Amino acid sequence: MRAIIAVLPGDGIGPEVTSQAVTVLQQVASRFGHEFTFNEAPMGGIAIDRFGDSCPPETIRVCEQANAILLGAVGGPKWSDPTAPVRPEQGLLRIRKHFELFANLRPVKAYPALAQHAPLRPELLQGVDMLFVRELTGGIYFGPQQEQGDGDRAYDTELYTVPEVERVAQVAFRAAQGRRKMMTSVDKANVMASMRLWRRTVVKVHEDYADVQLEHVLVDACAMYLMTRPASFDVLLASNMFGDILSDEASVLAGSLGMLPSASLGSGTFGLYEPIHGSAPDIAGQGKANPTGTILSAALLLRYSLGLETEAQAVEAAVEKALESGARTADIAPRGRTYSSTTEFAQAVLANL
């Protein structure tokens, strides 16, 4: 197949990790007989420096002409003043809004080879393989809010509509159908009206996905179960804020921030794929970045935007084999042991592809 991929390397370690993921995609193309074109565009701090805009119109145009976007990370100390009129993360929010990317998917897997890096006992990590589906463009982060300078009153509003919950629930149920067919919907229906709407909408959508087993779990209990029985979860569906918090909690199960990918999807196949970590300015330019989160994001791109499931699984298996063979970047290497550079680790993945 032919596909165009917009590559937005961004700042800090962004260019180091995206270049490795592109190399992996190039090898997928040559092994499986596809033709991928990579169009690079500026985004984040680097775009502010060059154009005074974190996401210039030309970058949006490059993305519009692509089948999917592969992003590194944006931001860094140079652009960290929260009162600055132009900030790197604004570009990311603009892209999500522009393409209506309302569902954020974050798979979390605990690799046996890395069990010693996670804070839980190894036996609790056995079989951990879950997928968070977080609502990304609604809820309390986007509801009516008020803040009056240093006044004594401020509020944010959790607001959901039935169509907003329906569309993200459909994404989650479809994902569950391709996995172990279990879905946990996270809410706070005992206290919040918006969460009662959430629950009854999920129950209604479930009628079209009867082959998936559905459970409802309150968010506070879910936070606990993620640590006490993480292997019991398959797909977790959560609102914008609950999904934000719980998916970060669950990320510790993988052993390092550098391990985890994400996909942001809309109603079609177009999507934005990026590792969950930031631009890691403390290690930028040193060849220490773990490229796994970005390489696994490229696998999600193959799966969700290009429909290439076999190729996606091949990349995921190559990462697992590289880890089993002992390849380690600094963040996942035992203390005092020598470790691979970003490029050497990616070479180990390529060797297993």
Among 189, 202, 236, 289, contact with ligand NAD (rule: CB under 6 A): 289
Residue ranges with strand state E in 12-165: 35-40, 68-73, 103-109, 129-135, 145-147, 154-156
Q: Which burial class, exposed, middle or buried, applies to 257 when counting CB atoms under 10 A from its CB (0-12, 13-18, 19+)?
A: middle
Among 264, 279, 297, 352, contact with ligand NAD (rule: CB under 6 A): 279
267/347 Cα distance (integer angstroms): 35
Taking CB under 6 A as the rule, does residue 296 contact ligand NAD?
A: no
Taking CB under 6 A as the rule, does residue 257 contact ligand NAD?
A: yes
Binding mask 173-212 for ligand NAD (x = CB under 6 A): ----------------------------------------
Which one of the spans 103-111, 137-145, 288-296, 315-323 is the region binding ligand NAD (CB under 6 A)?
288-296
315/295 Cα distance (integer angstroms): 8
Taking CB under 6 A as the rule, does residue 75 contact ligand NAD?
A: yes
Taking CB under 6 A as the rule, does residue 18 contact ligand NAD?
A: no
> Closest approach of Cβ 272 to ligand NAD, in Å?
10
Of the candidates 120, 103, 95, 70, the one whose C-alpha atom is nearest the C-alpha of residue 294 is: 70
* Annotation says 81 is catalytic: no
| 3-state class (DSSP) for residue 239 | coil
* Annotation says 53 is catalytic: no
Please tell me which residue in 188, 273, 288, 331 is annotated as part of the active site.
Answer: 188
**Is the CB of 201 or the CB of 297 nearer to ligand NAD?**
297
Among 107, 255, 266, 278, contact with ligand NAD (rule: CB under 6 A): 278
Taking CB under 6 A as the rule, does residue 254 contact ligand NAD?
A: no
46/65 Cα distance (integer angstroms): 22
* Annotation says 220 is catalytic: yes
Among residue numbers 307 through 336, which ones bind ligand NAD (CB under 6 A)? 331
164/134 Cα distance (integer angstroms): 12
Taking CB under 6 A as the rule, does residue 63 contact ligand NAD?
A: no
Binding mask 211-250 for ligand NAD (x = CB under 6 A): ----------------------------------------
> Closest approach of Cβ 251 to ligand NAD, in Å?
10
Phi (first) and psi of residue 284, to 5 degrees? -60, 140
Among residue numbers 86 through 115, which ones bind ligand NAD (CB under 6 A)? 92
- Residues 293 and 277: beta-carbon distance below 8 Å: yes
**Is the CB of 185 or the CB of 279 nearer to ligand NAD?**
279
CA-to-CA dists, residue 161 to 9, 104, 153, 193, 202, angstroms: 35, 18, 26, 11, 12
* Annotation says 209 is catalytic: no
Which one of the spans 28-36, 72-80, 129-137, 229-237 is the region binding ligand NAD (CB under 6 A)?
72-80
* Annotation says 156 is catalytic: no
> Closest approach of Cβ 334 to ligand NAD, in Å?
15
- Residues 311 and 298: beta-carbon distance below 8 Å: no
Please tell me which residue in 49, 208, 220, 282 is annotated as part of the active site.
Answer: 220
68/307 Cα distance (integer angstroms): 12
- Residues 269 and 67: beta-carbon distance below 8 Å: yes
Of the candidates 49, 55, 59, 134, the one whose C-alpha atom is nearest the C-alpha of residue 92 is: 55
206/262 Cα distance (integer angstroms): 24
Among 74, 113, 136, 349, contact with ligand NAD (rule: CB under 6 A): 74
CA-to-CA dists, residue 181 to 211, 238, 302, angstroms: 7, 17, 22
Taking CB under 6 A as the rule, does residue 286 contact ligand NAD?
A: no
Active site residues: 141, 188, 220, 244, 248
Q: Which residues bind ligand NAD (CB under 6 A)?
A: 13, 17, 73-76, 80, 92, 257-258, 274, 277-283, 289-290, 293, 331
